[in-house]
Amino acid sequence: MIIEYCQKAIESAEYKHLPDGTWFGQISGFKGVWANGRTIEQCRRELIDVLEEWLILKLRDGDLIPEIDGLKLEIRQLAVA
């Protein structure tokens, strides 16, 4: 589920070629998830790393994570009998 979620998020990433020749990428709706790289592929790989770290922090802190194409990540408490 997490891999599929990350793939969907990266599919919605937006990239810009900056005047200095580097690339900037971000994912709309994921505040603070952005990356830079010398090539668009390097930027994409860095963006994946940032997204993964961001998700770990959100899950650890119990923060809401945006739903993507019906995919939702959350930690649920299970009742123990």
Whether pLDDT at 1 is above 80: no
Whether pLDDT at 64 is above 70: yes
What is the pLDDT at residue 57?
A: 94
Q: Looking at domain 2-61, which CATH architecture does it have?
A: 2-Layer Sandwich (3.30)
- The C-alpha atoms of residue 9 and residue 23 are separated, in whole angstroms, by 18
What is the pLDDT at residue 77?
A: 73
Confidence of residue 33 (pLDDT cuts 50, 70, 90): very high
SS3 58: helix
